[in-house]
Amino acid sequence: MPRPLGELEDAVMTRVWQWNRPVTVREVLEDLQQERSIAYTTVMTVMDNLHQKGWVRREAEGRAYRYTAVSTRAAYSAALMNAAWSTSDNPAAALVAFFGMMSAEQREALRDAVRIVQPAVPEEPPESADSPVAAPDSERDSGEPSTEPRR
């Protein structure tokens, strides 16, 4: 079960997901500093922790690293929802309660998502009087010589 990100981890990952490119600690730091006072070493530690937890991969570039998200924010959110739902003793009731909390826009997004993942039901070809019908298994090759005349 995925553990939810902490507040600072989420702030860092939000930037990594939004920018959708390899980022440095310095870039994340400068953006975070627009909202709060934070030290370079704090951001570096958080990004290292995210790497250790498997949320980001990193590649060395000189003396620094460039970090890239391993998965999307949508995948993270889906994993959290699935984990929460799977702990319910009544999954149907949990879904009903969850759907009841949704806004109209969220319900519309849900309908769109269901249309995407719901497999299309193949249509059965109509049977006509002229179509050959297979014999039941009991009448098929029984290993005994056939008593029907050959045509």
d(CA 48, CA 30): 17
113-148: buried (b, 16+ CB within 10 Å) or exposed (e) per residue? Answer: eeeeeeeeeeeeeeeeeeeeeeeeeeeeeeeeeeee
pLDDT per residue as tens, the chain (151 positions) = 578 899 999 999 999 999 999 999 999 999 999 999 999 999 999 999 999 999 999 999 999 999 999 999 999 999 998 988 889 999 999 989 999 999 999 999 999 989 998 876 666 666 655 545 444 444 444 444 444 445 4
pTM above 0.75, yes or no: no
Count of CB atoms situated within 10 Å of the CB of 67: 25
Dihedral sign, CA of 16, 18, 20, 21?
Answer: negative
Task: Provide the pLDDT for residue 121.
Answer: 62
